Amino acid sequence: MASDLNKTLSKEYIGLQLWVLIVICLGVVFLVILSISLWLSFRKKSRRANVMLPLTQVPYVSEEIKEIRVDQASANNGNTLNEKFSDKGSEKGLFNVDNGEDSGQSGSFNHVDKDVKGSQPGEEGPTGTVSTYRPSSNPLTAPSPLSGLPEFSRLGWGHWFTLRDLHLATNRFSKDNIIGDGGYGVVYRGNLINGTPVAVKKLLNNPGQADKDFRVEVEAIGHVRHKNLVRLLGYCIEGTQRLLVYEYVNNGNLEQWLRGDMSDKGYLTWEARIKILLGTAKALAYLHEAIEPKVVHRDIKSSNILIDDNFDAKISDFGLAKLLGDGKSYITTRVMGTFGYVAPEYANSGLLNEKSDVYSFGVVLLEAITGRYPIDYGRPQPEVNMVEWLKMMVQLRRSEEVVDPNIETRPSTSALKRALLTALRCVDPDADKRPKMSQVARMLEAEEYPLPREDRRRRRNQSVNSDADTQRKNSDADRSDDPDLRLESRMHHHP
């Protein structure tokens, strides 16, 4: 039987013995099964990878990103510091409505930052103005504007967008989506894949300069959170491209409202102007006094103060910002900024510190009071420089005439004097005499103009040392009932 099997296996077919053919067939079957198994396994892994990763590859990370250092302690202090500079009271009218329609909710996007406190939505009052309520004492729980985006691209403080993401968001950087441009680059309106509207700043592709501008803005506000600062959501680094992605604020800026560009929605009331300036003051106090290193914005002006649907201020454009740390009282830098807003000592010497921002804020406050440009060559010579013109009007005791005629309901005399006195302190030619921004915020919130602490201390010392000085103090107190006399007295410190 064995011999018959051997004979059968030894038969030749196509030149090969049968047993050789059987071995070859078995080998082929084994290889086919192995190949199918490997293919199925690879396909399963590919499907799993496609679920986890977006359609685009992870972009190459420039070495420059390693130079961006985040002050973790500063970031951790954000919530408590926001409480320190939080709003203390409710505001009344926000703007005067020409046609009686509800113009407060002018857009479809109300941004609520999950890390800060917010106001309740505005409601239309019986007089056609929009009112807001006192901010809640409890933090709001709201979805992040980054929710729904691929988790893999989270990197530190923000979101790492790919160039493809931003192409889709801005319709390939369409000209129709441009909302701003300047020496730094172009800003586009866009929508992320999760529906969040954003402002995408595409920095000019200048060798070296784009990286420098990118680092400046990321270092300045990449890790900070404040209700009155435009939030930097993320960035894109691919090749030579440098882009920054901000929350989108869709209710114009302070300059547009003051100049009448938003007149189809009405004009800002006095209460709305003070609310916007108070929010700006609190944000600057946060940058100057609450984080380390402190941030000097260097380009505070009305067009860089955006306004959201609740008429809260949002400081934007940190392209010129400087960091001031390690106990430095000032830094020397090339003079940059906008004509009319630059502090005189900075313009003359290049010495920069936070008091330069205080001066610029004072100019913006005067803009909000008067509705005028800081420098307007279309006016008569004495009125070209707004700050000097206003000092002249106060000296002539004509301060009631400086109020913007577009304000339908004029402020009370005490409210006007308080705002003017605060502005005059901010634009003091002597930088050392300007108040801190936290003091400015308290001045704007006070029912009456607060006497500076150093002045109170000086008067106490004078009272102890000299009866004559005591009599002078009493005389000043008697005169303080007249707001015009107080302003006129203040002007002796403003040559």
> What are 71-125's pLDDT values in tens digits?
333 333 333 334 443 444 434 445 554 433 333 333 323 333 333 333 333 333 3
Out of 79-88, 215-224, 260-269, 327-336, least confident range: 79-88
- Report the pLDDT value the prediction gives residue 446, as an integer from 0 to 100: 82
**Cis geometry, peptide bond prior to residue 452 (ω within 30 degrees of 0):** no
| Lowest pLDDT segment from 82-96, 298-312, 447-461 | 82-96
Cα–Cα distance measured from residue 411 to residue 68, given in angstroms and rounded to the nearest whole number? 46
- The domain segmentation of the chain, as residue ranges, is 2-52, 63-247, 329-491
pLDDT given for residue 141 in this prediction? 42
Q: What pLDDT is attached to residue 103? A: 35
Give the residue among 419, 406, 390, 412 at the shortest CA–CA distance from 269.
406
For residues 326 and 146, the model is more confident at 326
Percent of the chain with pLDDT over 70: 64
Going through 53-129 in order, the beta strands assigned E by DSSP cover 95-96, 123-124
Whether residue 283 contacts residue 229, with contact meaning beta carbons closer than 8 Å, is answered with yes
| Of residues 72 and 443, more confidently modeled | 443
Angle, alpha carbons 302-182-250 (nearest 5°) = 50
Give all strands (DSSP E) within 104-221, no chain letters: 123-124, 130-131, 154-155, 158-160, 178-182, 185-191, 197-203
User: Per-residue pLDDT averaged across 421-449, rounded?
Assistant: 91
Contact 308, 246 (CB under 8 A): no
Residue 385 pLDDT > 70: yes
* Spatial contact of 437 and 361, defined as CB atoms under 8 Å apart: yes
Pick from 47-61, 214-228, 441-455: least confident: 47-61
The answer to whether the beta carbons of residues 152 and 134 sit under 8 Å apart is no
- pLDDT at position 224 is 82
With cut-offs at 50, 70 and 90, classify the pLDDT of residue 278: very high
* CA–CA distance, 47 with 63 (Å, rounded to integer): 32
pLDDT of residue 470: 52
Written as one letter, the residue type at 64 is: E
Q: What is the pLDDT of residue 10?
A: 73
Which range among 287-296, 415-424, 442-451 shows the weakest confidence by mean pLDDT? 442-451
Report how far apart the first and last C-alpha atoms of the chain are (Å, whole number): 128
Tell me which range, 140-149, 259-268, 372-381, is most confidently predicted by mean pLDDT. 372-381
- The predicted-structure confidence for 391-431, as pLDDT tens digits, reads as follows 999 999 999 999 999 999 999 999 999 999 999 999 999 99
User: How far is Cα 133 from Cα 125, in angstroms, rounded to an integer?
Assistant: 12
What mean pLDDT comes out for the span 191-197?
91
Q: Can you tell me the distance from the alpha carbon of 494 to that of 481, in angstroms, rounded to the nearest whole number?
A: 21
∠ Cα 218 219 223 (to 5°): 80
Report domain 63-247's class. Answer: alpha beta
**Which residue from 163, 311, 319 is spatially nearest to 243, judged by alpha carbons?**
163
φ/ψ (deg, to 5) at 244: -125, 140
Share of the chain above pLDDT 90, in %: 41
Q: Which residues pair with 17 in a beta bridge?
A: 12
Q: How far apart are CA 114 and CA 112, in angstroms?
A: 6
Burial of 96 (0-12, 13-18, 19+ CB in 10 A): buried
**Minimal CA–CA distance to 294: which of 85, 74, 441?**
74
**127-131 mean pLDDT:** 37
User: Residue 447: what pLDDT?
Assistant: 66
CA distance 379 to 399: 18
- pLDDT greater than 50 at residue 440: yes
Is 202 annotated in a binding site? The answer is: yes
Single out the residue of 367, 485, 363 nearest to residue 425, CA to CA: 363
Low-confidence winner among 27-41, 121-135, 310-324, 371-385 (lowest mean pLDDT): 121-135
Bridge partners (DSSP) listed for residue 237: 242
pLDDT in tens, 21-76: 788 888 888 888 888 888 877 776 555 444 343 333 333 333 333 333 333 333 33
Query: Radius of gyration over alpha carbons of the chain, in Å?
Result: 32
Rounded mean pLDDT, 306-320? 93
Supply the pLDDT for residue 431: 95
Please determine, for residue 150, whether its predicted confidence score (pLDDT) is greater than 80: no
> Is 115 designated active site?
no
How does the average pLDDT of the chain come out, rounded?
75
Q: Which residues pair with 186 in a beta bridge?
A: 181, 202
The average pLDDT across 236-263 equals: 91
pLDDT of residue 65: 32
Q: What pLDDT was estimated at residue 102?
A: 37
Specify the pTM: 0.64
d(CA 77, CA 94) in angstroms, rounded, equals 31
- pLDDT at 173 exceeding the cut of 50: yes
pLDDT given at position 487: 59
pLDDT at residue 2 in the model: 65
Beta bridge mates, 178:
188
Q: What topology is assigned to 329-491 in CATH?
A: Transferase(Phosphotransferase); domain 1 (1.10.510)
Q: What is the mean pLDDT of residues 464-493?
A: 52
Burial 292-325 (b: 16+ CB within 10 A, else e): ebbbbbbbbbbbbbbbbbbbbbbbbbbbbbbbbe
Q: Residue 312 — pLDDT band, cuts 50, 70, 90? A: very high
Sign of the four-CA dihedral 203, 205, 206, 210: positive
Residues 282, 85: Cα–Cα separation, whole Å: 6
Q: What is the pLDDT of residue 129?
A: 38
pLDDT for the residue 337: 86
Q: Which entry of 87, 165, 213, 299 is annotated as an active-site residue?
A: 299
Higher pLDDT, 116 or 169: 169
Report pLDDT for 81: 35
Least confident of 181-185, 384-388, 423-427: 181-185
Beta bridge partners, 307, equal: 313
The closest alpha carbon to 365, from 334, 404, 321, 394, belongs to 404
